[in-house]
Amino acid sequence: MNTAAPLVERPSWWMLGAEPFRAAIELASHLVGSSHPGAAGDGHPVVIFPGLGADGTSVAPLRSYWRELGYDAFDWGRGFNTGPKGNLDAWLGELADQVRGLLAAHTLPATLIGWSLGGIYAREIAKLLTGEIRQVITIGTPFNATTDKTHAAWLYRLLNGTTPVLDRSLSQRLRTPPRVPTTSIYSRSDGVVAWQTCRHEKRSRLTQDIEISGSHVGMGWNRTVLRVIADRLAQPLQGRRPYVVR
């Protein structure tokens, strides 16, 4: 089986330049629209990981909405996401320990939600904390490629002065999903990452890729994204069903 990452091009510069405008439209739609339908939550914990260069403020709409539905939602608690530091395995191990501490007061397994680079963290941490994780949901996360398929590489260099973490040597590892139900939400009009890199190469009963229409920067308050995640959060531990695109 060919396990090479998809041969795709990064989004065009005009799509990248349109991201702020499109995200603003999505935010306006979120703020003026009616509340999204969603089943009452069971109270299980939801940990949200922000994208590169973002912090808890960017995921506040997600956190607020899940709390309104009845989940115990909180962000990762580390402020701005400036990327891993030092040895990746050691850094992820420390983050996994911190997440375990956040979940210590809960008896129900957690959902991990990651936006962009935050989705990489969610997937990798779920591999370390399998027994404590209910599912993983990623939003615009390019787990199936190297950084030459994304416009985020320059930002990582700006923040860290080093080579981006998502290089080819890690691509095989990152493409392997955790052993829990994993949903990837992506958009063909994403101006930051190539949409093909947000899809699983190998289908299984534990993975589903769901296409939405929206920008990369605005996914955190995109009404369709919220609807998809609400559906996934409401799925029982046993007898899960795939999301049906409406």
For 80-116, what is each residue's pLDDT tens digit?
A: 998 888 888 899 999 999 999 999 989 999 999 999 9
Give the tens place of pLDDT for each residue, 217-239: 888 888 889 999 999 999 988 87
Residue labelled with tokens 């969603």: 38
Contact 140, 187 (CB under 8 A): yes
Give percent of the chain with pLDDT exceeding 90.
39
Query: Class for domain 13-233, per CATH?
Result: alpha beta
What CA–CA distance (Å, rounded) separates 187 from 88? 28
pLDDT of residue 201: 87
- Per-residue tokens: 159: 């923040």
What CA–CA distance (Å, rounded) separates 73 from 103? 11
* pTM across the whole model: 0.87
pLDDT of residue 17: 74
- Ramachandran assignment for 184, one of left (phi > 0), alpha (psi -120 to 50 degrees), beta (any other): beta
pLDDT of residue 54: 87
Question: Phi/psi of residue 91, each to 5°?
Answer: -65, -45
Average pLDDT, stretch 130-140? 94
Q: What is the mean pLDDT of the chain?
A: 83
Sorted by sequence, the CB contacts under 8 Å of residue 83 that are 6+ apart come out as 52, 117, 156, 159, 160, 164, 165
Contact 225, 149 (CB under 8 A): no
Report whether pLDDT(77) > 80: yes
